[in-house]
Structure 1
Amino acid sequence: MPDYSRKDAKAWATETIKGFYMCPISPVGNDFQFDYPKLRENIDKFIDMGVEGLVVGGFIAECWNVTLGEWLKYHQVVAEAARGKIPLWTIILDPSVHQAIEKMNYVEKLGFEGAEVINPVVQLRTDDEIFDWFKYLTDRTDLAVCLYRTPVSGKVLGFDLMRRLADLDTVVAVKQGHLIRAETLKLRHDLRKDFIVSDPLESVFLEDLRLGGQVVWGELSYILYGKLRPLVKQYRALAAEGKWEEARAVSDKLNPVRDFYGDVFLWTVVQTATYASALAGIKVWFEELGLNAGRIMPPVREASDAFKDKIRSKLRELGVV
């Protein structure tokens, strides 16, 4: 059972969900199946890095491209590897509310704290239909829910609908994956104050700390910074002391890496409204950091040799590895 009741889910989330809740890629072997021993190794390394939480099982993890049985096994292995040392959230991408509930009930028994849930990507399009879908879901599971507001779903959740959804007891947050900063700030201003609005971008986290934000949700840049990761810890510490200008000077040192991360990954996601092909470059980046990544599951293509060489060279130039 989760450590919160339905009625205090929002207060629990506001108090506990802070820092970096990262959404890492999954190691895949030459047989194009998840490499579970290497997945366990990665989770140990994420814990050692100081990642505050893991959000697994979604697009970036390639779990959209596996069978239900494999999805369930993946989450079991993650729970065993985490051993209660780090908070775990799943990601639900199913248009069937019944399948979504089944998955949420399964991971709750494994000790997961909640689920990031996309609105149904087929059939349901009106505000009332989407609200009814989430109402049905949250009435039948006690797990906390983080909404995923994104064009990948086929319909970006509107502001009126967001107000309605934010009032559901166990809906505690939104990943503002539309990547329009003005909309993030408006949502944070308009929605109830015990509801978390998170931009999935570390590059704006320092500003967010000044403007009421508290978590970088469902992305992976902190992991990707490699040897430069201490700069993140440094600017967060300065921000906690109210030394904003000093924190900004430290944060700005990461801008070249952020720009490259945008080139390799983010802008492909923005242009295509998908994650699939964008992951190939991140697989190379992971391997250069000494993390396990491996292959891309077919039918998605691997990165070209030229692109791989570009990534390896640039990471050394930037001092990431």
Structure 2
Amino acid sequence: MEFTRSEAKAWSQAHLRDFYMCPLTPMTADLTLDEAGLRENIEAYVEMGINGLVVGGFISEGWNMKLADWYRYHEIIADANKGRMDLWTIILDPSVHQALEKMAFVEKLGFSGAEVINPVVQLRTDDEIYDYFKYLTDHSNLAIVLYRTPVSGKVLSLELLKRLAELETIVGVKQGSLNHAETLKLRRELRDDFIVAEPWERFFLDDLRYGGQVIWGELSYIIYGQKRPLMKEYMELARAGKWDEAYRKWAELEAVRDLYDDVFIWEIARTSTYASALAMLKVWYEAIGLKAGPMLPPVRDVASERKEWLRAKLQEVGVV
């Protein structure tokens, strides 16, 4: 670990910046982990200049993996990465004991932290959820980013977030309600050394203007393909205070982000689940030269005509 418990928030303020992406997981035709493909993708992410990976959650199909595969997946990522990108896991377990077992495992692999969703079953009151995270942070030295989302069944309230932000190793929140007004409200109300991060590229430039520092836990920077450099360009212009130029660069991505919103973000908003939306992103992944493979059952793959439609749209908007 690069930080002690008391240093977790300060370390995160300095290091959790720019692009922390959630990659897809490549699968083979016989529905096993594509280890070679996963290693090949890691090399591509390093070449892209990604700061950190946030893995093992919904986007990676971690919810649908066998436990042994979940562990093996993290081993491969750590081995292939070789310390080049900051690594975080994602914890979706309602059992705090299973969560801690996973976190202890990835800490030994060199992971810095975990994005943790509040329990999706049983623990529903603010006190119960607080006790879950208090127990979790008392028994792990990993940094923790909360995941505030309707997918969990209970969106964390401002009052509860204020309590959780006081826990030593909880360093931030992924604000996944798809409401930017709530992001700004949380940033105003929560302590100054607590990161409130958006998982939606559409808001990233505005976020940089109003106190944001990282786009956390999504995959736009990966999937924007040939348009990817525009994200880095507008980010650097924004940090230099050249806002008019930054917004012109940002506007050049409008057709790409509209497509991303239509095939992915809208599906999450419509269904409060990632499952079926990911199938389209696997098609997108392979169109830009990354390894993806099929969805794990029972989630269906995309029909052939939809695949052809998406490939044509990706060419039309300049991603490939």
Band of TM-score, shorter chain: over 0.9
Q: Indicate conservation of the 8 Å contact 2:180/2:203, yes or no.
A: no
Structure 2 counterpart of 1:106, which letter? Answer: F
> Is the aligned partner of 1:62 residue 2:61?
yes
In 2: Cα distance, 1:290 partner to 1:29 partner: 16
For residues 81-105 of structure 1, the C-alpha deviation after alignment (integer angstroms, 9 at most, x for no partner) is 1000100000000000000001001
> Is the aligned partner of 1:50 residue 2:59?
no
For residues 136-171 of structure 1, the C-alpha deviation after alignment (integer angstroms, 9 at most, x for no partner) is 000000000000001111100011000000110000
> Is the aligned partner of 1:11 residue 2:10?
yes
Q: Which residue number in structure 2 is paired with residue 233 of structure 1?
A: 232
Structure 2 counterpart of 1:161, which letter? Answer: L
Q: Secondary structure at the match of 2:204?
A: helix
C-alpha deviation, 1:230, in angstroms: 1.4
Which runs of at least 4 in structure 1 moved beyond 4 Å after TM superposition?
none
Q: Which residue number in structure 1 is paired with residue 213 of structure 2?
A: 214
Q: Indicate conservation of the 8 Å contact 2:113/2:143, yes or no.
A: yes
Q: Secondary structure at the match of 2:44?
A: helix
Q: Which residue number in structure 2 is paired with residue 159 of structure 1?
A: 158
Q: Secondary structure at the match of 1:7?
A: helix
In 2: Cα distance, 1:307 partner to 1:165 partner: 43
Q: Which residue number in structure 2 is paired with residue 302 of structure 1?
A: 301
For residues 29-88 of structure 1, the C-alpha deviation after alignment (integer angstroms, 9 at most, x for no partner) is 111111011000001100100111100000110111111111111100000010001000
Q: Which residue number in structure 2 is paired with residue 270 of structure 1?
A: 269
For residues 279-311 of structure 1, the C-alpha deviation after alignment (integer angstroms, 9 at most, x for no partner) is 010000000000000100000001111211110
Q: Which residue number in structure 1 is paired with residue 287 of structure 2?
A: 288
> Is the aligned partner of 1:24 residue 2:23?
yes
Q: Which residue number in structure 1 is paired with residue 79 of structure 2?
A: 80
C-alpha deviation, 1:218, in angstroms: 0.3
For residues 211-268 of structure 1, the C-alpha deviation after alignment (integer angstroms, 9 at most, x for no partner) is 1100000000111111111111211221122110011001100011000001111100
C-alpha deviation, 1:24, in angstroms: 0.7
Structure 2 counterpart of 1:318, which letter? Answer: V
In 2: Cα distance, 1:170 partner to 1:236 partner: 28
Q: Which residue number in structure 1 is paired with residue 223 of structure 2?
A: 224
Q: Which residue number in structure 2 is paired with residue 91 of structure 1?
A: 90
Structure 2 counterpart of 1:240, which letter? Answer: R
In 2: Cα distance, 1:95 partner to 1:230 partner: 39
For residues 179-221 of structure 1, the C-alpha deviation after alignment (integer angstroms, 9 at most, x for no partner) is 1111100000000000000010111111111111000000001
Q: CA RMSD in A?
A: 0.6
In 1: Cα distance, 2:264 partner to 2:206 partner: 22
Matches for 1:169-208 after TM superposition, within 5 Å? 169-208=168-207
Q: What TM-score do the two structures reach when normalised by structure 2?
A: 0.99
Q: Secondary structure at the match of 1:8?
A: helix
Q: What TM-score do the two structures reach when normalised by structure 1?
A: 0.99
Q: Indicate conservation of the 8 Å contact 2:162/2:190, yes or no.
A: yes
Structure 1 counterpart of 2:25, which letter? Answer: S
Structure 2 counterpart of 1:148, which letter? Answer: Y
Identical columns (%): 60
In 2: Cα distance, 1:212 partner to 1:195 partner: 11
In 1: Cα distance, 2:285 partner to 2:67 partner: 26
Q: Which residue number in structure 2 is paired with residue 106 of structure 1?
A: 105
C-alpha deviation, 1:8, in angstroms: 1.3
Deviates more, 1:66-75 or 1:164-173: 66-75
In 2: Cα distance, 1:141 partner to 1:171 partner: 11
In 1: Cα distance, 2:48 partner to 2:124 partner: 40
Q: Secondary structure at the match of 2:32?
A: coil
Q: Structure 2 unaligned runs (5+)?
A: none
Structure 1 counterpart of 2:105, which letter? Answer: Y
In 2: Cα distance, 1:79 partner to 1:43 partner: 10
In 1: Cα distance, 2:208 partner to 2:160 partner: 26
Structure 2 counterpart of 1:67, which letter? Answer: K
Structure 2 counterpart of 1:72, which letter? Answer: Y
